[in-house]
């Protein structure tokens, strides 16, 4: 699965306690040949490490160990390295396995617990900035799920929707003197009201920025028919045929996506400036980490590709070089930024990603504090 499929409900299910052991495997992967040729070998090595961990665990019975190994073998057989992104996450218990392709790198590790490790999925979804796009005409509405890299048609919340086609009514035409315009037709208005109702249901269940694509009269009438469409952050006033390809749609959306990203970055910069002025600002990984742990961060801004390995000693974070020949005094955390992002979201903070080097003066990560 891709991380844009990570809904709040699915995340809650992934975090639920499971019969011990619940296995989480994470590893970096490569998007293109020839580098991706090594991914299959690394995955098999990771599975071998997981098997060894289970064999050495006195709390894992032979039956459970065998069942989990079978699930891992099925997962390995299903992994398609041609679809690889920047990391692979595999979850497995004696009863199931799940494969997640992640567009954000993750360290190589095996975690044995009674829950799955979700921090890398959560951070990757936040970084991907998923959005909804709705292509609309007088008689058809198609929903698309997208990120900056790709869009795909999504069949949920009743979408796609098609207006019922009725045979022409000669008597009605005689009464009004002519066939009515498509966009003044009450049937069209009724259809677009239905589109708005389905849209409202979707946004309530999975809030994301919304983009609308369609002819100007269709978008105007859609707004008149209900409130959900008015929340759109971007509009493309251009016809969208029912057979529009994902690549074509993403190309049409690109100016609106870039414009929204620019507006968001400017808004975030203003909020961080205001926080500095009111002394409710934290800058740098250690300060932001502390604020998130205390539940004081209301907004966390982080550069797009910022990731750091740190050593946690007495509640503070110190950058660490894994190649350095020394014994760490504290606990080494390879994906502390992902962990921080997940903790911030769990505390109700807003997390936004900015372009690389946007926060250079503040250690590449900053926060506006609640108090």
Ordered DSSP codes for 265-310? HHHHHHHHHHHHHTT-EEESHHHHHHHHHTT-EEEEEEETT----E
Task: Determine how β-strand 22-28 pairs with β-strand 109-113.
Answer: antiparallel
Contact 258, 229 (CB under 8 A): no
- The reported pLDDT for the residue numbered 170 is 46
Contact yes or no for 68/54 (Cβ under 8 A): yes
3-class secondary structure, 93: coil
Length of the chain: 371
Give the span between the Cα atoms of 245 and 143, in whole angstroms: 13
* Whole-angstrom distance, CA of residue 192 vs CA of residue 219: 9
Going by C-alpha positions, the residue among 333, 277, 270 that lies closest to residue 299 is 270
User: H-helix or E-strand containing 86?
Assistant: none
Nearest alpha-carbon partner for 129 in 111, 104, 146: 146
**Structural Rg of the chain based on CA atoms:** 25
Separation of alpha carbons 291 and 25, rounded Å: 29
CA dihedral 225, 226, 230, 232 (to 10 degrees): -90
Strand partners, 369: 297
Computed from CA positions of residues 19, 17, 42, 151, in that sequence, does the dihedral angle turn out positive or negative? positive
> In which region does residue 68 sit, left (phi positive, over 0), alpha (psi from -120 to 50) or beta (all else)?
alpha
Q: What b/e sequence results for 132-161 when a residue is b if at least 16 CB atoms lie within 10 Å of its CB, and e otherwise?
A: bbbbbbbbbbbbbbbbbeebeebeebebbb
Instruction: Give the closest residue to 192 by CA, choosing from 172, 215, 175, 176.
Output: 215
Neighbours of 24 (CB within 10 A): 23
Residue that is written with structure tokens 């990984």 in the block:
285
**pLDDT computed for residue 329 by the predictor:** 61
Q: Is the peptide bond prior to 277 cis by the omega test (within 30 degrees of 0)? A: no
- Where the chain has pLDDT below 50, the residues are 167-168, 170-180, 325
Contact 302, 341 (CB under 8 A): yes
Q: What is the pLDDT of residue 173?
A: 42
């Amino acid at each position: 699965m891709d991380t844009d499929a990570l809904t709040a409900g699915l995340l809650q299910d992934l975090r639920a306690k499971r019969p011990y052991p619940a296995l989480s495997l994470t590893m970096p992967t490569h998007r293109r040949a020839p580098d991706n040729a090594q991914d299959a070998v690394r995955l098999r090595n990771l599975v071998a490490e997981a098997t060894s961990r289970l064999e050495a665990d006195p709390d894992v019975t032979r039956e459970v160990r065998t069942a989990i190994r079978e699930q891992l073998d099925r997962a390995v057989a299903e992994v398609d390295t041609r679809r690889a992104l920047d990391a692979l996450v595999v979850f497995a218990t004696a009863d199931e396995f799940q494969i997640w392709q992640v567009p954000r790198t993750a360290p190589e590790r095996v975690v044995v617990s009674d829950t799955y490790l979700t921090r890398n999925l959560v951070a990757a979804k936040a970084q991907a900035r998923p959005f909804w796009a709705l292509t609309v005409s007088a008689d058809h509405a198609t929903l698309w799920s997208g990120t900056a890299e790709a869009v795909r048609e999504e069949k949920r919340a009743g979408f796609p929707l098609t207006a019922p086609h009725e045979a022409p009514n000669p008597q009605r035409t005689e009464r009004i003197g002519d066939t009515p315009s498509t966009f003044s037709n009450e049937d069209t208005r009724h259809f677009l009201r239905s589109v708005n109702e389905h849209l409202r249901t979707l946004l309530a269940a999975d809030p994301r920025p919304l983009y609308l694509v369609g002819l100007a009269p269709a978008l105007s009438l859609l707004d008149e028919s209900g409130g959900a469409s008015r929340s759109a952050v971007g509009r493309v006033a251009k016809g969208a045929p029912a057979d529009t390809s994902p690549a074509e749609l993403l190309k049409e959306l690109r100016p609106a996506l870039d414009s929204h990203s620019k507006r968001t970055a400017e808004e975030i910069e203003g909020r961080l400036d205001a926080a500095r002025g009111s002394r409710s600002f934290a800058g740098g990984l250690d300060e932001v980490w502390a604020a998130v742990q205390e539940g004081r961060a209301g907004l966390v801004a982080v550069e797009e590709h910022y990731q750091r390995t740190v050593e946690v000693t007495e509640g503070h974070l110190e950058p660490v070089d894994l190649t350095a020949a020394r014994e760490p005094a504290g606990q080494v955390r390879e994906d502390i930024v992902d962990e921080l992002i997940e903790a911030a979201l769990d505390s109700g903070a807003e997390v936004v990603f900015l372009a690389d080097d946007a926060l250079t003066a503040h250690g590449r990560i900053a926060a506006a504090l609640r108090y």
